[in-house]
Amino acid sequence: MNRIFLLAVFAIPSLAHAQAFKMEPGPKSPAESLKCIKVRPGFKVELMVSEPLVQDPIAFAWGPDGKFWVVEMGDYPLGVPSPGKSAAIPGGKPGGRIKYLEKSKPGGPYDKMTLFMDNLGYPTGVFPYARGVLVTCAPDIFYAERGKDGKVKKEVLFTGFKEGNQQHRVNGLTWGIDNWIYGANGDSGGIVKSIKTGKSVNISGRDFRFKPETGEFETVTGQSQFGRCRDDWGNWFGCNNSNPLFHFVLEDRYLKRNPHVLYPNPKVQVIPGAIRVYPISKPLPRFNTPQGLNHFTSACSAIIYRDNFFGKEFEGNVFISEPVHNLIHRQILKPKGVTFTAQRAKDEQKSEFLASTDNWFRPTMIQVGPDGALWIADMYRYVIEHPEWIPKDWQKKLDLRAGHDKGRIYRVVPVGKTPREIVRMDGMKSKEVAKQLESPAGWVRDTAHQFLYERYFEKDIAEAKTELKSIALNSKFAQARLHAFNVSEYLDLPRFSLLEAMLNDKHAGVRRHAIRFAWWYPLKRSTLQLQRVLNDPDAQIRLQAVYTLGGWPQTGALLAEILCDQNQERHIYAAAMSSVSAANYREVLAEVTRRKNVPEKITTQLVRLAKAFPAEERPVLPKQLVRFPALALQGVVAVDIPAVGVWLKSMDATGATPGYLINDPEQKVMVARLYGAYRDAQKIAANNQANVMDRIAAIRILNRGIADNKADRKILGGLLTIHTTDQLQAAAVQQIGLTDHPAVVNILLKHWKSYTPGRRAQVLDLILSKVFWTRMAVIDLRNKRIDPGEIGAIHRQRFLLHTDAGIRNDAKQIFADASNTKRATLADLYWLQLPDKGDATRGAKLFAKSCAVCHKVGNVGNNVGPDLASVKDKSPQGMLIAILDPNRAVETRYINYQATTKKGLTYTGILSAETSTTITLTGADGKEHQLLRNELDELSSTGKSQMPEGLEKDLRPQDIADIIAHVRSIHAR
């Protein structure tokens, strides 16, 4: 909820309107607001509780004792102000509360409230555990319970979560099938210390899981902003404000086994970002037409419907809260390979599952309750947006806390159906709790599972074990078998007989989890089982089987077979690479090198894995690695130049050079053929009559130290003239950059005047990748060999924010006109000169020239910066500020980072993906740079937006008006 200003406010045309702005319509009573909610036909909405029992509810949970716990963020957004103080001034008092509700009569309403804790600073979640609750309240996760003296006692378990924007803090504790508690990062990150173990873990870019009783804490693939959920089979999902649903496909705990592999993004966007939604609330005054369609801008609390109460067609559906637009969105999930696809229901193509005409209706958390109903927390606020994203002038006109004394909780139920009574387990014996695993309600199964986990030392747990074994082996309900199996594993039931049954279960979801445990299964039987499951029609079973292969020796042949299958899904291929280790590497390598047509990515990754070996073993490896080009270099008719280029590129990953081969007396024949390939490559690269693709393949062999790099640089430099095709120029620039020679800068800049904008960008990216090249370029800029005016805003900013202080200082002088401008003053000046109307057609052309490198509208541009479909409702002044003063309010995930590798290469971009072993920086041109953490020398934030300052150099007020008109016309497309 932080990328566009609150629709109700910033759809207003200009600041002049702010002077007379009235916060209308006003708030409604709970009964009146209930009437405003429209739900899909066949369902009804019931008001379960409202103020004064609850106020500002943002999260809730049920305990096994029937208590309904509620989290209230009463201090949102900037704390509770002192009497007479403005709510827009930061530093107000903590006002968060934890309370629980109970029913005076079974089957009656929640009519009894107990305040459990208050004066908390922005609490975000509660999770019933043991005799109390776990609470997420940055910087901590703490456990609290009421003692015999009636006082609440608090124990901090984990600390170090960053206290960022209140909408981006740690939250979303959820029970996992594997007996861990999972949580959402919230986007703020932190270095989290476990108080019990003393260990610290950096959770940047990922979510986490933990065990309260031991203090174990580790990262998991993520990250999710508000809420992290799973389906019945352990698939985890998350979201952020403009991206309604991610599926976290690859598991971080497996990927970190092999830190030398560049993995694909472990999360998949199941629902596209900023898709259209269909609110029914009446828009407040706005520039664009009232009927203009809207987009996700505040997606949160995505949950999977894990119950049968709604009916078969709703099982496994995803529901997502969208508070800015006063609605709940639904999509149908369908498996696709190792992940999922999603689509709207046929009868909800242009409508929502639930929406309200009340602008104050702000659904925060949604959950499927113990009764099978869909429960909704309504914070009931007029302004839901954080002041960080609201201009100061508007903050003075708004009551940022309007509605702080209100709050409602609803549930959605099918018409004609009576919700189940909430099951209380606190009075049950362990055997009876175990029987609850056969419930059709996901909440009941999870709570029974957790409750049995907590009862490990109870006297009657032996009776539960007997019941669990029976359920695991005989239940007709697959979900029950899965839960029983996982609880049994923790309670130390005999593993072998259960695992045998689970590996042969008729349901793929059960078999998948059995394979997860198969690492301790007898090796001979395991290998036979895995050979079978590697060909299972279910892709998720194959994925887990490939992970599990890494737990045994003597599986190299199986891994090699998977790696060489060019039709393999990229995520299964990644899992196979995570399973390659020092124990099986040689076997994998030997098997791969026996094969023909090995994919380039396999060669590159396996050569890179030589780094996994101890230093004393590495000198032996190149003798094995040279077997990769054997087929190419031992050809009967001709050397396969493309294959040689692939091999040489692969060797780069280990820091090895062709010298390993050249200096090996056992490889004389192969060395002779390598020299022959090199000489042929020189001739082909320089031959203007040769096929372009052949020349590109030949270029890949040059400038690698096989012979005289000086001669190679001359050939490559000769390809940078206006007479050379764009493809060849691009290949030549890339190849020139393989060496550190000072002559590189002169070669690259010799033909600067004739370069296209794209080639200039490539050349500057290469020069900026090394500090001493950048220093040489600064000298050329100072001496006007290159006109500073020819450096675009993006690269100007990279000079101005360079990690080297000398380069920064020189750049400030060279680009003085741009860097010394007062951004705020400039934006105000442009606002006064901004025409009332813009030309959208002309704006489209300007957008393609100045904005499309980072932003996408329709089919034009790159998805690097925010999706502009989600900001089209912003006021013209808001958009003007975003263009000319991009650093006034920067969302953390769009801050620019600079990474320097141990080889001295520098990369710049937003931090778009992270695992335990890799980071991905996405540059302003949309190009992704995936880097291994163990190869980084430094990673630092510039503290600035990737969107550069200084665009006014290229854009007049009329130009900006035209671009704004173009972006705001999106709704008509």
pTM of the complete model: 0.81
Main-chain phi, psi angles of 428, to 5 degrees: -85, 150
Instruction: Give the residue from 33, 48, 31, 56 showing the smallest Cα distance to 413.
Output: 48
Q: For residue 671, is it within any domain?
A: no
725 against 607, higher pLDDT: 725
Band the pLDDT of 824: cuts 50, 70, 90.
low
Q: For residue 730, is it within any domain?
A: no
Q: For residue 428, is it within any domain?
A: no
* Residues 6+ away with beta carbon under 8 Å from 436: 423, 425, 428, 444, 445, 447, 448
Domain identity same for 93 and 175: yes
Q: For residue 494, is it within any domain?
A: no
Whether residue 192 is predicted with pLDDT greater than 60 in this model: the reply is: yes
Q: Which residues pair with 753 in a beta bridge?
A: none
Residue ending a domain, among 765, 794, 820, is 820
Give the C-alpha separation, 426 to 431, whole Å.
Answer: 13
Q: For residue 623, is it within any domain?
A: no
CATH of the domain at 830: 1.10.760.10
Domain identity same for 142 and 264: yes
Residue 158: which domain range? 7-414
Domain identity same for 916 and 773: no
**Upstream peptide bond of 223 is cis (omega within 30 degrees of 0):** yes
Residue ending a domain, among 765, 786, 820, is 820
Domain identity same for 811 and 868: no
| pLDDT tens digit sequence for 525-577 | 555 667 788 889 999 999 999 999 988 777 888 999 999 888 889 999 999 99
345 against 846, higher pLDDT: 345
Domain identity same for 798 and 837: no
Domain identity same for 282 and 397: yes
| pLDDT tens digit sequence for 224-266 | 999 999 999 999 999 999 899 999 999 999 999 988 888 999 9
Domain identity same for 778 and 826: no
Alpha carbon 276 to its chain centroid, in Å, reads 21
Residue type, 888: R
End-to-end CA distance of the chain: 25
Domain identity same for 903 and 832: no
Domain identity same for 826 and 795: no
Q: Which percentage of the chain shows pLDDT scores above 70?
A: 84
CATH of the domain at 250: 2.120.10.30
| pLDDT tens digit sequence for 583-607 | 888 888 878 877 777 776 777 777 7
Q: For residue 82, is it within any domain?
A: yes
Contact (CB, 8 A) for 588 and 580: yes
Residue ending a domain, among 380, 414, 448, is 414
Domain identity same for 756 and 858: no
Domain identity same for 794 and 759: yes
Residue 312: its pLDDT value, please?
97
Residue 567: its pLDDT value, please?
85
Give me the helices (H) in 594-725, please: 600-608, 621-625, 630-633, 641-652, 659-662, 668-686, 692-699, 709-717
Handedness of CA 124, 128, 133, 134 (dihedral sign): negative
Whether residue 685 is predicted with pLDDT greater than 50 in this model: the reply is: yes
Q: Which residues pair with 211 in a beta bridge?
A: 216
Q: For residue 182, is it within any domain?
A: yes
Instruction: Give the residue from 272, 350, 370 showing the smallest Cα distance to 63.
Output: 370
Task: Indicate the pairing of strand 207-211 with strand 216-220.
Answer: antiparallel
Q: For residue 620, is it within any domain?
A: no
Domain identity same for 827 and 813: no
**For 683-711, what is the mean pLDDT?**
88
CATH of the domain at 914: 2.30.30.100
Give me the helices (H) in 154-275, please: 252-255
**For the chain, how many structural domains are there in total?**
4
Give the C-alpha separation, 389 to 382, whole Å.
Answer: 15
